[in-house]
Structure 1
């Protein structure tokens, strides 16, 4: 789905975005990766999927049993997924831009721009939901001792605090954007390493 197809809809509350991320992480670990959402949530879910796939490829890359061939294969998969992840951050921000235009939101020229876009914040929340899921898995390990469980419990508490803080900040940002109190832009990632015309290791080979 392109950003333009959701311009006629609305932005869901951040609580629904984060619940989507939490629910799908759990579901995808038990079954196939599916995206049953529409509108803005479909974009959120697609972006989240790339983070989910990236997380597990990163785990494989660090396995002591992975040989050079496997690591090279995983590295290429990580590069591709990271590009797709960043492309989806841009699509999320493009969708917000189109919605603001449809609603005729015209912030003043002096309205500030946030240091982080809404799409980037959604990406960070996605990663945080993955981190929380996998930390909670650590609490269930049969071979984990008390010290390990205590360390994991402390980190879960910190992650939950950070997740709540970021969720609140994103909700405030979206409210400010819709009220015209802040200006919104899509910042292009312009990654060079996957572009055959820009990566010298590719165009010189």
Structure 2
């Protein structure tokens, strides 16, 4: 249940999903929270990368906040923008790490319809949604609207549910994921 996943550590012993090739959203969100939980050793790569994506997006959120600060010195904003570029390079590499693992582990039917995103891209979007929800939830009452927090939680829950459907569709041969690689290179930055 994605809503439970957003609010509590995962408990894989209650989920009969060990037969699935990919970890369910509860374990992904648990990895965002730093919970290793009871998990299959085969899922180490995507869950470790998911945890690092969440840390990364927390850092990127902070850098973007600095870059939008209208009172910040130009040098501070420029340094934040360079930091964002470096963080995007890490992000692309983490997504690629997950996608490479999926290519090695998941055997999808070539006849199945193609999903629009790679698994790494979906996990990346889950990490962004989780960070957004945590940030809105952590703001003091006068700094936020309860609407933002509940909307962010709803978006996280819906995306987690869509991810779980994708996992089941891949498992049952109803969907396959693209084998894409990032085309933008961050090497050679100035």
TM-score range, shorter chain: 0.7 to 0.9
Structure 1 stretches of 4+ moved >6 Å? none
2-structure distance, mates of 1:115, 1:157: 27
- Where structure 2 has 5 or more consecutive residues not aligned to the other structure, the ranges are 1-19, 35-42
1-structure distance, mates of 2:58, 2:160: 19
Number of equivalenced pairs: 163
* Deviation of 1:188 (Å): 1.6
Given the alignment of the two structures, is residue 62 of structure 1 paired with residue 68 of structure 2, yes or no? yes
* Deviation of 1:66 (Å): 1.9
- What corresponds to 2:112 in structure 1? 111
- What corresponds to 1:81 in structure 2? 87
1-structure distance, mates of 2:111, 2:45: 31
- What corresponds to 2:28 in structure 1? 17
- What corresponds to 1:98 in structure 2? 104
Given the alignment of the two structures, is residue 188 of structure 1 paired with residue 168 of structure 2, yes or no? no
Q: What root-mean-square deviation, in Å, do the aligned CA atoms of Structure 1 and Structure 2 show?
A: 2.3
> Equivalences for 1:23-172 in 2 at 5 Å?
23-24=33-34, 38-100=44-106, 105-107=107-109, 109-138=110-139, 140-141=140-141, 144=142, 149=144, 152-172=145-165
2-structure distance, mates of 1:10, 1:40: 11
* Deviation of 1:184 (Å): 2.2
- Where structure 1 has 5 or more consecutive residues not aligned to the other structure, the ranges are 1-8, 25-36
**CA offsets, 1:69-128, max 9 Å, x none?**
11111111110101210221121111111111xxxx350x33111112221111111111
User: Could you tell me whether the CA contact under 8 Å between 2:118 and 2:179 is conserved in 1?
Assistant: yes
2-structure distance, mates of 1:39, 1:69: 38
TM-score w.r.t. length of structure 2? 0.75
Q: Which has the larger radius of gyration?
A: 1
**CA offsets, 1:135-173, max 9 Å, x none?**
1122x25xx2xxx65xx2112222222211111111111
1-structure distance, mates of 2:100, 2:88: 18
